[in-house]
Amino acid sequence: MEQRLRGRVILVTGSTTGVGEATARRCVAEGAQVMVHGLEEEWARAVCADLDDAARYLICDLGDPANCARLVAATVEQFGGLDGVVNNAALTTRSNLESTDAAFFDRMVAVNLRAPLLIIRAAVTEFRKRGRGTVVNIGSINGLAGEENLLAYSISKGGLTTLTRNLANALAAERIRINQLSLGWVATANEIALKQREGLPPGWEKNVPRAYAPTGRILAPEEVAAHVAFWLSDDSAPANGTVYELDQFSHIGRNVTKAF
Ligand SMILES: NC(=O)c1ccc[n+]([C@@H]2O[C@H](COP(=O)([O-])OP(=O)(O)OC[C@H]3O[C@@H](n4cnc5c(N)ncnc54)[C@H](O)[C@@H]3O)[C@@H](O)[C@H]2O)c1
């Protein structure tokens, strides 16, 4: 494996499972030290056990604004600095117009949008000490419009796209790059289990209708992680403010009837 992240310190939020976990593992494989984070202590411990000295973890809820700066501070305390952040943690709870009340909306936006902003605010102070830094925000193709039962989530991801572009422009001159991967459907352990609870058969993720996945299967977390590593690394420099839709087809202008 290439060592594009050798000597870098990377904070990956929401890395106890799914895309974040695969990203933490990929970053270490490419030479980085990683702060693992999420809500599930047992899973965090298991990830760190596999990654030995290259990883530490902190469990905290990013709905609390104080935890954002705390997470950055803990990373610096553990590893002596910070070179990159992957804003990956997110709530994916379903909601439509009827079920999106003020409290639900505020919680969704606090975790999915305010937390990335506050983490970048804290991280920039550390990046300036290094004279550089990279952020990869994990968005969703739902941020383009989104499914009707993902109203608040889709709005939060749309806001994340604006955050990415705005801050990329504001910080570019300081060699701080902020890019975004807006993901299509990913076969994480949680997603596989959720769809089985909703009635799909075991193995559904490898036998998906072509309209949703032209290859017949959806993205693997490890495939997403490989892209994240590229956007964290100097190989993607000087690209900044890029919002990259990572899926198997174009979400704009697609003729869906041809997919059947
Ligand atoms: N799985 C998909 O199909 C898909 C599609 C598009 C975008 N995404 C995006 O990819 C990212 C990762 O998704 P995933 O499917 O791997 O998720 P997941 O549910 O498997 O993992 C979510 C992670 O976020 C953490 N988290 C959740 N709420 C938190 C909170 N309040 N405070 C702190 N941490 C919290 C969890 O502990 C966990 O580590 C998310 O930003 C998601 O929106 C996923």
Q: Binning pLDDT at 50, 70 and 90, where does residue 259 land?
A: low
pLDDT of residue 253: 85
How many angstroms does the Cα of residue 105 sit away from the middle of ligand 1? 17
Contact call for residues 219 and 246 (beta carbons, < 8 A) = yes
Nearest by Cα to 8 from 162, 232, 240, 193: 232
Average pLDDT estimate for 219-236: 98
For the segment(s) 9-184+219-245, the CATH number from 3.40.50.300, 3.40.50.720, 3.90.1150.10, 3.20.20.70 is: 3.40.50.720
Catalytic positions are 153
pLDDT at position 169 is 98
Closest CA to 138 of 233, 244, 219, 35: 244
Report the pLDDT value the prediction gives residue 114, as an integer from 0 to 100.
99
Indicate which atom in ligand 1 lies nearest the CA of residue 92. 43
Distance, in Å, from the CA atom of 74 to the CA atom of 57, rounded to the nearest integer, reads 9
pLDDT score at 260: 53
Domain ranges in the chain?
9-184+219-245
Q: Which atom of ligand 1 is nearest to the CA of 157?
A: 43
Tokens standing for residue 152:
């608040």
Overall pTM surpassing 0.95 (yes/no):
yes
Cβ atoms 130, 82 nearer than 8 A:
yes
Rounded to an integer, the average pLDDT of 9-28 is 98
Rounded to the nearest angstrom, the distance between the alpha carbon of 173 and the centre of ligand 1 is 31
Question: CB under 6 Å to ligand 1: residues?
Answer: 14, 16-20, 38-40, 61-63, 88-92, 111, 138, 140, 183, 185-186, 188, 190-191
pLDDT recorded at residue 210: 86
Rounded Cα gap, residues 15 and 44, in angstroms: 8
